[in-house]
């Protein structure tokens, strides 16, 4: 058996905690002793979620997922399923993952570098907790110590995450529960439950948990925070600011609108067009929208209580009922008011920026969402396209190395393909 390396850093924070900025910021990190891992199964992707999850599940775990795949694939609410990375792999490729190949790829990535400390990162690990035991056992075979790092989302982060998920669901109106409060409290509950399961898998290993508060830490600052906590040289990392997250206000607005729209499950262009809508809504909301003061105060005041509860309860046994307290948002009527007030400006923006003409029937929230959903089902509803404000060709190449290798003009690629593919920019 090969001699064990000193340690590995395993970052498995929740979604909406600056993970993309962290992964691309550390992608080329190498100080001679510590290096950011490159996995053979996805060498260009600094997000290790899929290869780590599939390696950790093993043949038996993958077999169980394959048996559940038909039910998952038929579900209109796929985002609620834990352990969904194997399902998404099967949906994308039409094949069952080869767990052995992913395991051997992970082992090779460890053995083929001379460094004594490796960094792995994947926010997809957190909800795919079924891989935890197998993955940790594999890493213990190769490293003397595993340094776990988990950033948890604050309530605004949970709020933003759930809204963006609803926006990108196949059936926005079906995805979200009737009660916004219940849905967000369930998200907080699941964060605590999943963290508890990862703590059990990492028992005996050091684990750093931190709260990612969007008010204090923007997505470039996460690199500084991570390096400080793990003793890394921040000067060897990059400060990447990815324009892929809405402001909380823009997310609230567009997702509330999407709640009242729906699209046929077999609409072939809906998902593609919705990705470009995401780009447009980010531009519309950036620096312009403001939550009502009362709503903002309630949202941020919920942080401390909810996060105290997570911190207090995730280390001990607790019941499902205790995770459903009134810790987040009570009602969503505020969002309807915000959206209704924004509609005239939003209609004008979509006409100017994308050539979308939604007509008089779109002058209330429900009418707007219904007509917009119908237009997103068309082959090419956007008669105009323009580069987002602040688009950086250089950063686009850094974030999309496969495009950089082809020598394609980055601006042209984004306008023709990237804006519809959900590319980072």
Per domain, the residue ranges of the chain are 5-386
Quick one: pLDDT band at residue 344, thresholds 50, 70, 90?
confident
Asked if pLDDT for residue 319 goes beyond 90, the answer is: no
Find the distance separating the first CA and the last CA of the chain, reported in whole Å. 44
Give the per-residue pLDDT at 187: 67
The CA distances from residue 198 to 86, 94, 134, 290, 327, in Å, are 19, 30, 12, 37, 23
Top mean-pLDDT range of 49-63, 262-276, 303-317, 333-347: 49-63
Percent of the chain whose predicted confidence (pLDDT) is above 70:
68
How confident is the model over 237-265, as pLDDT tens digits? 987 765 544 444 455 555 555 555 666 65
CA angle 24, 18, 392 (to 5 degrees): 50
Query: How large is the average pLDDT for residues 178-197?
Result: 66
Give the per-residue pLDDT at 328: 36
Distance CA 123, CA 194 (A): 12
Give the per-residue pLDDT at 184: 57
Max Cα-Cα span within the chain: 72
Give the per-residue pLDDT at 323: 37
Distance CA 13, CA 161 (A): 13
Asked if pLDDT for residue 106 goes beyond 50, the answer is: yes
Query: How large is the average pLDDT for residues 155-176?
Result: 46
Quick one: pLDDT band at residue 301, thresholds 50, 70, 90?
low
Asked if pLDDT for residue 281 goes beyond 80, the answer is: no
Distance CA 120, CA 250 (A): 32
Q: 268, 9, 246, 15: which is closest to 151 by C-alpha?
A: 15
Top mean-pLDDT range of 12-16, 75-79, 90-94, 170-174: 90-94
- 112, burial (CB in 10 Å: exposed 0-12, middle 13-18, buried 19+): exposed
């Amino acid at each position: 058996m090969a001699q064990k390396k000193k340690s590995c850093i395993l970052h498995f924070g929740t979604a909406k905690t600056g993970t993309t900025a962290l992964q691309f910021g550390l992608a080329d990190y190498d100080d001679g002793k510590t290096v950011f891992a490159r996995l053979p199964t996805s060498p260009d992707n600094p997000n290790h979620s899929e290869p780590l999850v599939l390696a950790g599940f093993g043949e038996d775990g993958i077999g169980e997922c394959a048996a559940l795949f038909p039910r998952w694939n038929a579900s209109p609410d796929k985002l609620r399923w834990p352990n969904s990375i194997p399902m998404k792999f099967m949906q994308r490729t039409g094949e069952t993952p080869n767990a052995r190949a992913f395991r051997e790829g992970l082992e090779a990535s460890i053995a083929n570098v001379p460094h004594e400390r490796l960094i792995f990162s994947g926010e997809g690990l957190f909800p795919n907790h079924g891989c935890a035991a197998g993955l940790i056992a594999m890493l213990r075979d190769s490293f003397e110590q595993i340094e776990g790092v988990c950033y948890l989302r604050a309530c605004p982060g949970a709020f933003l995450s759930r809204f963006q998920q609803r926006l990108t669901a196949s059936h926005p109106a079906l995805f979200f529960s009737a009660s916004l409060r219940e849905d967000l409290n369930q998200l907080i509950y699941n964060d605590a439950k999943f963290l508890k399961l990862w703590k059990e898998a990492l028992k005996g290993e050091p684990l750093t948990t931190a709260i990612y508060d969007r008010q204090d830490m923007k997505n470039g600052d996460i690199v500084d925070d991570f390096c400080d906590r793990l003793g890394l040289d921040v000067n060897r990392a990059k400060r990447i600011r990815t324009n892929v997250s809405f402001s909380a206000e823009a997310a609230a607005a567009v997702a509330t609108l999407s709640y009242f729209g729906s699209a046929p499950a077999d609409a072939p262009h809906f998902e593609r067009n919705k990705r470009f809508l995401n780009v447009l809504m980010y531009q519309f909301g950036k620096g312009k929208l403001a939550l009502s003061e009362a709503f903002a105060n309630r949202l941020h005041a919920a942080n401390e209580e909810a996060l105290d509860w997570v911190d207090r309860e995730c280390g001990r046994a607790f019941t499902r009922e205790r995770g459903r307290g009134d810790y987040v948002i009570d009602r969503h009527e505020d969002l309807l008011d915000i959206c209704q007030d924004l509609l005239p400006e939003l209609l004008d923006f979509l006409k100017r920026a994308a050539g979308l003409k939604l007509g008089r029937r779109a002058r209330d929230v429900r009418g707007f969402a219904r007509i917009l959903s119908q237009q997103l089902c068309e082959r090419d509803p956007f008669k105009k396209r323009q580069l987002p404000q602040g688009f950086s060709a250089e950063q686009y190449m850094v974030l999309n190395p496969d495009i950089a290798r082809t020598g394609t003009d980055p601006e042209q690629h984004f306008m023709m393909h990237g804006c519809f593919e959900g590319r980072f920019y």
